[in-house]
Structure 1
């Protein structure tokens, strides 16, 4: 998620640094300071790997929180939590990460932070989960403009060189995703050619930097992003990077349609889909057929060409003020996960932590208890 949506879900009007902004387990699990000794890179394509990844879950608003891991209200990630995610039936965890606040003026990432990220990846792998780490919003420095391009390219390359070296020996249950929702801050419209060119360049910088570190990274499965992870912009403008490895790339998009139902806290839209009974509480677009059509675009444009797609985020906020609203949230999430999976996409639910009104959490982060077991089941069962 980008800063605007993070602020919205946190109930903040302005984000500043002070407020924050299945294939099975590894042969050996990584610790906070050392990578596994086993190579563990199987001779399978990214498309084959994606069909093992099942339903996924985001450790949202945690390692990417500006101000520190707990700055946005979530407890530190634990082995207990990852075990609970696995026990619930999820096979993949996406771990959004911020790096800039842990780096010096020369863009050298603190060893302690690399160790902490490795510790959390280790929790996931020990639980038997695939793990995806990225460069998330990270303070917003990844602006796709010519003015920012030189600085952003250099920083992105340096960060990924350090990250990739630290995780060089990890097996293929760890994936790298280059960026997140890259866009010009506040501009949700059709991107200018400048923005597209710079953002496609970020994807190439990422792939080139990772591959150059060698070892398992020479063939690691890497995830690149469409512009703002928007399906239509991806289809229209994304260019796959040149890659020295064969069949080791995935594309990432996100899905939050229709916005007034899924994320808009001020909206009175709380019903969705074929089961809706009140036209005034239902948006005029974004129903089942819309989701089918959007995911079919990704199937035709990417999956059918051997390029798997990660649906890196999707979800709906709780609207507890409306009696019966949970039925529609359940219907949307189950349908989206199933429609995506049936077309070859890997659905990864966006969990921001809190489980109350206007939030998207599924679990009690401290104990691992399922707060919404029916919702968890609907997402997991959609990929079985």
Structure 2
């Protein structure tokens, strides 16, 4: 949205089968699920920090309910999210209802904010589910007897299990029966209960086996194979693991076998017993190797999916507006820090895409436009929140204090600055997959001039789009084929159709066009207007505009379909919405109807509708969610929007 008073204010496989217990032996049926628990400092500002406690299920069974503990020397917790945190050093975090279950291979994240009281710390996380040997500050207990080790071939669900005597230098293999769906180059969980299409289980999007296997080769079900243990160890980035393991394991056994008919979940499902398969169910034990034999994720190329095809997967989107785009800092416009809990709530409500407006001009050096690394870190953390929730992300350079003036006088300056900034941003995010899209700018216009652009204005604005595309492509890697979003002049549909020029690109069918929609203004944004009703359901002609009704809306989005979608250019409806007017009786009825109609009209014509949420839920605001808790403020409005994707 344009900066204004309204918009600102109102608006993992385990090595062998070791590391199960500190000492002695346990029955397999009594072993608690094992998790990798670690504490990661995400952002530090001297007197305090935000951090994540990440819990990764490294077993092949679900963790149902969890708690973890940690303690500091001087730091103290001042806030938390995604868990119930109790205690006052040591602290205990316990699951909430929505994240109690951690699926095999899944990572969940708990957030904390701390006061430093000195240096920022990264303590060890411990608890009954945590395998401390996966924490680089911890060590494995070495008082384990190799004489009591049991041969792999004799293990069953009723047998006792102890540490295997495997040298860390051996050719050990670690195996996992967890399978995923390689959906045209992106991995998603396979659904347990959903039998066809897409589902949403355990707080994540999933794909049914039937739908996954309907793709052409090499896509489809993948996973379930044995891999060298050296790979799984190195992925933990902990050299202390190797030395600790070798001290507790004999060199008498050189490999881990996965005998047919075992009940051992660390081996692939093809070796499991019939009884164990029946226990875990067909989602983890499909009893079919043919579907995976020719489908390897390493052979997948992301080059095949076009921008139009990608928009069909992006569903309905939501803007986390007036946060990272706030001038001066994330909380400067009154919103709290973005959290994983907020993003999870948005996903759970039915949204599939996050638009992330960002003001990047927090420079380490203003003379050469070098972006502060700490700001890069924070933006990346929020991007990961959305990706953790299996959402698409459209990340841009937003208004950013208005330095992108499309005039000949400013053209060279703006293009140089765009090139420098997008080169840094693209390089930082260069390894992210196709779920992350870059959008070059926002509502570019000459300040104060809302009229039809002159040839100078739209020519210069088109050059900004070309500079963005060229700069990103030049960074190479995944950015060479990343989906990129460019904007029409002031994101106005008519100006876009009449004046936008698609940039020259080095790859085909990977560009999208962005427009916004706030018609009619007197109903959508003007809180002083007496226009408080809209559309065919309106009952008072004097409170209703005579233009921008349903037929006008359909015609506008049809223009985008004919001129862009039908020509292979995907379209993002990057912003739309209506302010609340809680002081007007029945206004909410018309607000709901407008949002429902605009969303459906855009969606059915191939556009990706992305609602503008400014974080303010009171009179004149546009928030759908409480930014602090993630609670739905307007459930009926949310449902009116997301049901277009049903």
- TM-score by structure 1 length? 0.92
Aligned residue number for residue 8 of structure 1: 6
Q: How does 1:275-314 map to 2 (within 5 A)?
A: 275-314=537-576
Q: 2:517 aligns with which of 239, 255, 272?
A: 255
Aligned residue number for residue 636 of structure 2: 374
Relative to structure 1, the CA distance from residue 357 to residue 40 in structure 2 (aligned partners, 3 Å threshold; closer, same or farther) is farther
Inter-partner Cα distance in structure 2 for 1:8 and 1:248: 34
Aligned residue number for residue 65 of structure 1: 326
Relative to structure 1, the CA distance from residue 217 to residue 364 in structure 2 (aligned partners, 3 Å threshold; closer, same or farther) is same
Aligned-partner SS, 2:596: helix
Aligned-partner SS, 1:186: coil
Aligned Cα root-mean-square deviation (Å): 1.8
Aligned residue number for residue 213 of structure 1: 475
Larger CA deviation: 103-112 vs 145-154 = 103-112
Query: Is the contact made by 2:9 and 2:333 (CA closer than 8 Å) also made in structure 1?
Result: no
Q: 1:43 aligns with which of 304, 311, 322?
A: 304
Inter-partner Cα distance in structure 2 for 1:339 and 1:167: 33
1:160-183 Cα deviation digits (max 9, x unpaired): 000000000000000000000000
* Residue 9 (structure 1) shift: 3.3
Inter-partner Cα distance in structure 2 for 1:10 and 1:242: 35
Q: How does 1:1-384 map to 2 (within 5 A)?
A: 1-4=1-4, 7-11=5-9, 27=187, 41=302, 43-105=304-366, 106-384=368-646
Relative to structure 1, the CA distance from residue 11 to residue 62 in structure 2 (aligned partners, 3 Å threshold; closer, same or farther) is closer
Aligned-partner SS, 2:526: coil
Query: Is the contact made by 1:102 and 1:109 (CA closer than 8 Å) also made in structure 2?
Result: yes
Inter-partner Cα distance in structure 1 for 2:331 and 2:584: 30
Inter-partner Cα distance in structure 2 for 1:103 and 1:197: 32
* Residue 252 (structure 1) shift: 0.2
Give ranges in structure 2 of 5+ residues lacking alignment.
11-182, 189-297
Q: Which has the higher contact order (CA 8 A, sep 6+)?
A: 1
Query: Which contiguous aligned blocks of 4+ residues in structure 1 show a shift greater than 4 angstroms?
Result: 23-28
Query: Is the contact made by 1:196 and 1:227 (CA closer than 8 Å) also made in structure 2?
Result: yes
Aligned residue number for residue 51 of structure 2: none
Equivalent residues, number: 364
Higher strand share: 2
Inter-partner Cα distance in structure 2 for 1:290 and 1:75: 38
Aligned-partner SS, 2:536: coil
Higher helix share: 1
* Residue 327 (structure 1) shift: 0.4
Relative to structure 1, the CA distance from residue 214 to residue 243 in structure 2 (aligned partners, 3 Å threshold; closer, same or farther) is same
* Residue 102 (structure 1) shift: 3.6
Give ranges in structure 1 of 5+ residues lacking alignment.
13-22, 29-37
Inter-partner Cα distance in structure 1 for 2:409 and 2:550: 41
1:277-327 Cα deviation digits (max 9, x unpaired): 111111111110110010000011011111110000000000111111100
* Residue 97 (structure 1) shift: 0.2
- TM-score by structure 2 length? 0.55
